[in-house]
């Protein structure tokens, strides 16, 4: 099974460029990435991105905190394009499970990406709400877990196992920290991994020999020493 590579960015130029790159199968954004990209008008900015990315799947997240407002935003975002996945956080900022919202949207055949998932119990609860005939993604934040000293692999593996019998439900390794995470995602049969552009470029350069890595490393040190005019 192929582990698809998604690009985790809301930067317009990056998406435009990587949309043409065959290594990238799709894109994920979130409100923080939108802010980082300088988006002022959420809808207009998203529509501008969608003019460049018309086919590859791309996730846009709701940012309302009240369930009924979240629902309204989700229906609107879904209208923006056929390749759009609506990202819904598993809970809102009060910690309330967004199950009823997920259930309703999924029943209406809206492609969802359930985000900010950190436990197997959350995966189970999400699965109970999803319409198994509609394409959906469950995003597990591996990097943020390892940042806190938790091994994300057991949760990812168990979630993948639970989703195995549903061909439309895919587990996404979110919050990627290093290029090696791609190999780990492949090893455990994770359907998708989303990563920042810098890591995607590193993956494109996989396969360098030890000899070349050594030379490149030493060249880098030499070049910086020269730039700083170091003397002893």
Q: Which residues bind ligand G3P (CB under 6 A)?
A: 8, 28, 30, 141, 143-144, 174-175, 194
User: How would you class 28 by CB atoms within 10 Å of its CB: exposed for 0-12, middle for 13-18, buried for 19 or more?
Assistant: buried
Query: For 59, which DSSP code?
Result: E
Cβ neighbours of 68 (radius 10 Å): 8
Using CA atoms, how far residue 46 sits from 20, 23, 43, in Å, is 18, 22, 5
Nearer to ligand G3P, 26 or 131 (CB): 26
User: Minimum distance between the CB of residue 181 and ligand G3P, rounded to whole angstroms?
Assistant: 11
Residue nearest to ligand G3P (CB): 175
User: How would you class 218 by CB atoms within 10 Å of its CB: exposed for 0-12, middle for 13-18, buried for 19 or more?
Assistant: exposed
User: Minimum distance between the CB of residue 73 and ligand G3P, rounded to whole angstroms?
Assistant: 17
Nearer to ligand G3P, 85 or 169 (CB): 85
User: Minimum distance between the CB of residue 99 and ligand G3P, rounded to whole angstroms?
Assistant: 21
Residues, the chain, total?
Answer: 232
Nearer to ligand G3P, 45 or 131 (CB): 45
User: Minimum distance between the CB of residue 6 and ligand G3P, rounded to whole angstroms?
Assistant: 9
User: Minimum distance between the CB of residue 69 and ligand G3P, rounded to whole angstroms?
Assistant: 21
Half-sphere exposure in the Cβ direction for 172 (13 Å, CA):
31
The answer to whether 12 touches 52, Cβ cutoff 8 Å, is: yes
Nearer to ligand G3P, 80 or 104 (CB): 80
Give the rounded distance of the alpha carbon of 37 from its chain centre.
16
Sign of the C-alpha dihedral, residues 209, 22, 81, 135?
Answer: negative
User: Minimum distance between the CB of residue 193 and ligand G3P, rounded to whole angstroms?
Assistant: 9
Nearer to ligand G3P, 85 or 141 (CB): 141
Nearer to ligand G3P, 110 or 114 (CB): 114
């Amino acid at each position: 099974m192929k582990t698809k590579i998604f690009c985790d960015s809301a930067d317009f130029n990056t998406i435009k460029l990587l949309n043409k790159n065959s290594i990238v199968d799709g894109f994920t954004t979130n409100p923080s990435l939108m802010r980082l990209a300088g988006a002022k008008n959420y809808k207009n900015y998203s529509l501008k991105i969608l003019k460049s990315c018309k086919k590859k799947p791309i996730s846009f997240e709701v940012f309302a905190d009240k369930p009924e407002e979240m629902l309204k935003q989700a229906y609107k975002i879904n209208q923006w394009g056929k390749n759009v996945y609506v990202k819904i956080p598993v809970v809102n900022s009060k910690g309330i499970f967004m199950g009823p919202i997920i259930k309703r949207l999924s029943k209406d055949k809206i492609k969802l990406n359930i985000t900010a998932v950190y436990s197997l119990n959350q995966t189970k609860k999400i699965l109970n709400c999803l319409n198994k005939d509609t394409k959906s993604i469950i995003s597990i934040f591996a990097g943020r877990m390892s940042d806190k000293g938790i091994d994300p692999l057991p949760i990812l593996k168990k979630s993948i196992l639970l989703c195995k019998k549903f061909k439309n439900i895919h587990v996404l390794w979110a919050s990627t920290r290093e290029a090696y995470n791609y190999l780990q995602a492949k090893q455990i049969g994770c359907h998708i991994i989303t990563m920042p552009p810098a890591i995607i470029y590193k993956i494109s350069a996989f396969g360098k020999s030890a000899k070349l890595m050594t030379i490149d490393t030493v060249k880098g040190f030499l070049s910086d020493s020269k730039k700083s005019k170091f003397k002893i």
